[in-house]
Structure formats: C-alpha cells, structure tokens
Amino acid sequence: MSSDDEPAWQRQYGPWAVIAGGSEGVGAEFALLLARAGINLVLIARKPGPLRGTAERCREFGGQVRELAVDLTDPAGVAQIIAATTDLEVGLLIYNAGANTHSAEFLDGDLRAFQQVIDLNVTTPLQLIHHFAGPMRARRRGGVLLAGSLTGYQGSARHSVYGGVKAFTRIYAEGLWLELRDHNVHVLELVLGVTRTPAMQRVGLNFDIPGMPVSDPADVAREGLARLPHGPVHVVSAHADNPALRATPDRAEAVLASHRMMQKLLGGAPTRDSDAPPIG
C-alpha cells in the first residue's frame, strides 16, 4: 500500500472500521494501516492489555479508537458489539480472529469446544456481517474481509472441524462477493498460510521447517488491504504454491502428503495426541 491509497480507503471504507481480533498479529497490523489512513477504529479482542497497547499506537495517528473487550464465542458478544457501535457509520468489517482452539481428533474431542471453533469462525462472523454489511449495501460502499486458512482447502487430522469452518467461510465469501459486487461493497476471503503471529508463537509452532514459507503479519495485512477490492478470494502470495491449492483427483495421496508436513510443523507431535497445540 502507498500513501496514495489512503484517500481512496477513506472514501470506500471510512469513517469507521470494526476489527474483530484487532489487538495482535495481523489484526493489529490492519489496525495500524487503517489508522494511518485516517479511519477510526473499533478494536475487539478478549485480553484488555494487548487491546489497549494497539489502540494507543493507533491513536497516535490522530483518529478515534474504541476498545471492546468481548469474547467472540460468547453468545452475548454480538449484542455487546452492536450496542457499542450503534452511533457509528461502519464502512469496513475485518474478521481476523479465528485460529483453531481445539486440536483434537474428532471422536476424542469435546463437542462444546468444537462448537466454539464453529461459533468463532461461522456463527459470529455471519451475525456481524448481517448487521454491518446491510447498511454498507444501502450506502453503496464498504468492505468485508475474512481471514481464511490453507487448512480450508484440505482435510487434516486434529483439524477436521477447523478445516471445515475455513472451507465454509471461503465458499460463503464467494457467494457474498457475488451478491454485493454490484453494490460496491468489497468482499474478500484472505487465505493465510503459516504466519508468525503472537498466537502461533505462544502455541510453539515450528517456524523453521526448511523450505516452508512463513509470513510476517505486517506483510499479510498490507497484501490483504491491497487485494480487498479484488475479491472474492486471495491466497497470501508467499503461499501461492502450496500443494493444497491444487485440486487433485487422488484426495487420499494429497491429504496424506499434507499430513506429513503438518506433523513437522507441529514439531513431531504424535498423530493421535488429542492435546496437540492449536494451529492457525
């Protein structure tokens, strides 16, 4: 992005943007780019500390920033977000939160914990998009950006539900893009590969597998905003060669090859360990 883009962003996505998962990693980088472009922000995350830190960095650009400490898997969360934004004209919704929170083989896992993965990635974003994108369509300007994952292109052990929800959002984004393109509301599913975010650093992903690309959150956010007018789906360029993106008729071979790579990524954790760390 160059500073030349900033007035166009304000016209298309201002005056307020809501970022769900806007305190850390790619979400925080989106926030900083938009703040620099003069767009006011509503930042949502659970932990007040990082939320405050990112909000303060964004305020240095002179705009307004609201901090909302809300759990996006809480059934009351959407109502809290709506109540805290009723007086705002929201022109951009970025739904970044969504890393896997329950990495278990399906039959050994906890259904309530899987439900939280579904709520974080499907139930809540759909409710927020329904609320915020209706007025965007009426105004004939705006944007919706969803964070997707390569995991949504191919099944993987301990990520059956997570891969499923990421596949859902990609197909959903394509449909929404079709429905909103004639109304000048941009829709993009930004597909991330392995990215060095604080969440993934905390779970101890092995970022050092030879030949495996690892993205930087600031690069991902820049690329995401640049691609937002050109939906419906964009795979972050560092990961464009990922074999998961090439549909092959032999799905068993494709899934097993990806499974072997995933084992390396998780640091050789045994396949059937239902307590393996979550992964983006």
Ligand X SMILES: NC(=O)c1ccc[n+]([C@@H]2O[C@H](COP(=O)([O-])OP(=O)(O)OC[C@H]3O[C@@H](n4cnc5c(N)ncnc54)[C@H](OP(=O)(O)O)[C@@H]3O)[C@@H](O)[C@H]2O)c1
Q: Judged by CB under 6 A, which of 12, 85, 103, 149 binds ligand X? A: 149
Measured from the CB atom, the residue of 7 and 204 that comes closer to ligand X is 204
Q: Judged by CB under 6 A, which of 14, 16, 25, 223 binds ligand X? A: 25
Q: Is 96 in the site for ligand X (CB under 6 A)?
A: yes
Q: Is 147 in the site for ligand X (CB under 6 A)?
A: yes
Measured from the CB atom, the residue of 37 and 99 that comes closer to ligand X is 99
Shortest gap between Cβ of 245 and ligand X (angstroms)?
13
Measured from the CB atom, the residue of 23 and 154 that comes closer to ligand X is 23
Q: Tell me, letter by letter, the H, E, C secondary structure of the chain.
A: CCCCHHHHHHHHHCCEEEEECCCCHHHHHHHHHHHHCCCEEEEEECCHHHHHHHHHHHHCCCCCEEEEECCCCCCCHHHHHHHHHCCCCEEEEEECCCCCCCCCCHHHCCHHHHHHHHHHHHHHHHHHHHHHHHHHHHHCCEEEEEEEEHHHHCCCCCCHHHHHHHHHHHHHHHHHHHHHHHHCEEEEEEEECCECCHHHHHCCCCCCCCCCCCECHHHHHHHHHHHHHHCCEEECHHHCCCHHHCCCCCHHHHHHHHHHHHHHHCCCCCCCCCCCCCCC
CB 261: neighbour CB atoms within 10 A?
16
Tokens of 58: 């964004």
Shortest gap between Cβ of 274 and ligand X (angstroms)?
20
Q: Is 50 in the site for ligand X (CB under 6 A)?
A: yes
Measured from the CB atom, the residue of 10 and 237 that comes closer to ligand X is 237
Shortest gap between Cβ of 97 and ligand X (angstroms)?
3
CA separation for the pair 188, 143 (Å, rounded): 8
Q: Which stretch binds ligand X (CB under 6 A): 25-33, 86-94, 221-229, 266-274?
A: 25-33
Contact pattern for ligand X over residues 29 through 48, marking x by CB under 6 A: ---------------xxxx-
Q: Look-up: residue for tokens 């944007």?
A: 143
Q: Judged by CB under 6 A, which of 12, 23, 85, 258 binds ligand X? A: 23
Measured from the CB atom, the residue of 4 and 51 that comes closer to ligand X is 51
Q: Judged by CB under 6 A, which of 36, 52, 61, 71 binds ligand X? A: 71
Measured from the CB atom, the residue of 120 and 238 that comes closer to ligand X is 120
- Return residues touching ligand X (CB under 6 A): 21-27, 44-47, 50, 71-73, 96-99, 120, 147, 149, 192, 194-195, 197, 199-200, 280
